[in-house]
Amino acid sequence: MSSTTITDWKEIQDLYPINEEMIWLNNCGTTPCNVNTIRSVQEYLEGYSRRGGLTDVRRYPTVKHTIRKIIAGLVNCDVEELSLIHHTNEGMNFISMGFQLKSGDEILLLENEYPSNVYPWEHWKEKGVSLGFIPMANTPDEFLENLKRSVTSKTKVVSLSAVHWCTGMPFPLEEIGNFLDEQGIEFVLDGAQGVGLVPIDVRKMKLKYVAFPAWKWLLGPLGLGVLYIREDRLDRLSFPFKGTSSVSNDEVYLPYRGELKTGTDRYEISTVNFIDWVYFQSSLEMLFKIGFHSAMERVYELADYLGEGMKNIGFQLEMDHFPDYKTGIVVGTKEGIPMDELVSYLKKHGVMCALRLGKVRFSPHIYNRKDQLDRVVQLLGSFSG
Ligand SMILES: Cc1ncc(COP(=O)(O)O)c(C=O)c1O
């Protein structure tokens, strides 16, 4: 498998039946399926219907290896440091329940963070560990200052998103990672809005723990996620989750044993949602073939194109606060316009977007077309005058 530079995006646009039905611009929420993936899953299911788990159409070790290899290349880790789980929330619970903190310690989270990176930390409160929130900022530099100001000698863990889900602002992860590493503070990343949208390099960013879902920038299935735990951290985490697939040589059920798998895949726990794996392999292989870098650049191009169109009709954009950082999440507002009514109006006209913190949020992906974005700007114009 090797990456090629794609110049004609029509080939990708044509793979997505959703383009015949509506303009889906909520790709940082969920993403639709393409026809190649439908075919892959169908082939697998046909094989499964004839030969059950013995089918050769897709085999567990190969699918697992392919997914982990592509993700490992994307985030610059070892294959062994990755586990397929179900969502960010599950990964955050695995990590949070694994830490050994003591009363008086503090965990820092992000203001207005998505609940999947908040609720898993709340159990610590009843153990005397406090939760603090780092204030949001308009720019990545300002946020770095906020983070540095929020850290105290009590701070033991910072768990942060890669990109803010309500504003689209990427955080300066390398600077944050280096700072936290120097302070001896554990850095956990919610990669939901980051992996596949912005470059994530766990080594450069000194990341020890990352969890993210498949169904956003990676175009994968709902209910499948990925957990990264750096090799040297694995045995330091307590592991209250032992399951059939957590132990070494897990295809042999008896006698029971205590020895855990040596890699992060000990968090696979038990029988996997293999149809989703087949789906994910298909979307990852497509992105790998396009090249993750090219895909990201295309998303930025579409986001900038939409942003320009919105500005021309008087919208104020979050992304204008951080012009040196690329994003694929376009968040805007216009004075005097009721944003909830605007979002309903767009939906009624076949445009899927979201309302976040009182603003309208669009997130294009590689299969969107520029004429779709022109149409959105036209609708925004006709609603807002
Ligand atoms: C920052 C962030 N984290 C996590 C998620 C998804 O959480 P989960 O993978 O637990 O469904 C989202 C989805 O919108 C998100 O924006």
Q: How confident is the model at residue 177 (pLDDT cuts 50, 70, 90)?
A: very high
CA–CA dist 218, 355 (Å, integer): 22
Distance 147 CA to ligand 1 centre (A): 21
What tens digit of pLDDT does each residue of 121-140 get?
A: 999 999 999 999 999 999 99
The answer on pLDDT for 10 being more than 50 is: yes
pLDDT on residue 8: 87
Task: Give the pLDDT of residue 4.
Answer: 58
> What does DSSP say about strands 330-333 and 130-134: parallel, antiparallel, or unpaired?
unpaired
- R_g of the chain, CA atoms, integer Å: 22
Residue nearest to atom 3 of ligand 1 (CA): 192
> Which ligand 1 atom is nearest residue 87's CA?
9
Q: How confident is the model at residue 5 (pLDDT cuts 50, 70, 90)?
A: low
Tell me if the bond preceding 364 is cis, omega within 30° of 0: no
Q: Which residues contact 304 (CB under 8 A, 6 or more apart)?
A: none
pLDDT of res. 1:
44
Q: Which of 26, 85, 94, 116 to mutate to test the pocket of ligand 1 (most atoms within 8 A of CB)?
A: 116
**Ligand 1 touching residue 114 (CB < 6 A):** yes
β-bridge pairing 330-333 and 359-362: antiparallel
Q: Is any ligand 1 atom within 6 A of the Cβ of residue 93?
A: no
Residue 352 banded pLDDT, cuts 50, 70, 90 = very high
Spatial strand order in the sheet of 359-362? 316-317, 330-333, 359-362, 354-356
pLDDT of residue 6: 72
**pLDDT digit string (tens) for 211-221?**
999 999 999 99
- C-alpha–C-alpha distance, residues 382 and 376, integer Å: 10
Note whether 209 and 131 are within 8 A (CB). no
Three-state secondary-structure class, residue 225: strand
Residues 268, 85 contacting (CB under 8 angstroms)? yes
Phi-psi region of 103 (alpha: psi -120 to 50; beta: other; left: phi over 0): beta
Structure confidence by residue, pLDDT tens digits, 276-311: 999 999 999 999 999 999 999 999 999 999 999 999
Report the pLDDT averaged over residues 11-35: 98
Q: Is the CB of 27 under 6 A from ligand 1?
A: no
- Mean pLDDT, rounded, for 309-315: 98
- How does pLDDT run across 250-263, given as a tens digit for each residue? 999 999 999 999 99
Confidence tier at 385 by pLDDT (50, 70, 90): confident
Instruction: Encode pLDDT of 69-120 as tens digits.
Output: 999 999 999 999 999 999 999 999 999 999 999 999 999 999 999 999 999 9
Helices (H), 53-152: 60-75, 88-98, 140-150
The residue nearest atom 12 of ligand 1, judged by CA position, is: 192
Instruction: Output the residue whose Cα is nearest ligand 1's atom 16.
Output: 165
Pocket flag, ligand 1, residue 161 (CB < 6 Å)? yes
Over range 181-196, report the average pLDDT: 98
Q: Which of 359, 363, 364, 362 is nearest to 112 (CA)?
A: 359
Compute, in angstroms, the gap from residue 267 CA to the centroid of ligand 1. Answer: 19
How far is ligand 1, taken at its centre, from the CA of residue 220, in Å? 14
Would you state the structure tokens that stand for residue 258, as one six-digit string? 């205590």
Q: Which pTM was predicted? A: 0.97
Cα separation, 57 vs 54, whole angstroms:
9
Does 246 sit in the ligand 1 pocket, CB within 6 Å? Answer: no
Residues 311-339, mean pLDDT to the nearest whole number: 97
Q: Mean pLDDT for the chain?
A: 97
pLDDT of residue 3 exceeding 60, the answer is: no
Does the CB atom of residue 211 touch ligand 1 within 6 A?
A: no
270: helix, coil or strand?
Answer: coil
Domains of the chain: 9-32+291-382 (3.90.1150.10), 43-288 (3.40.640.10)
Q: What length does the chain have?
A: 385
356 lines ligand 1 (CB under 6 A): no
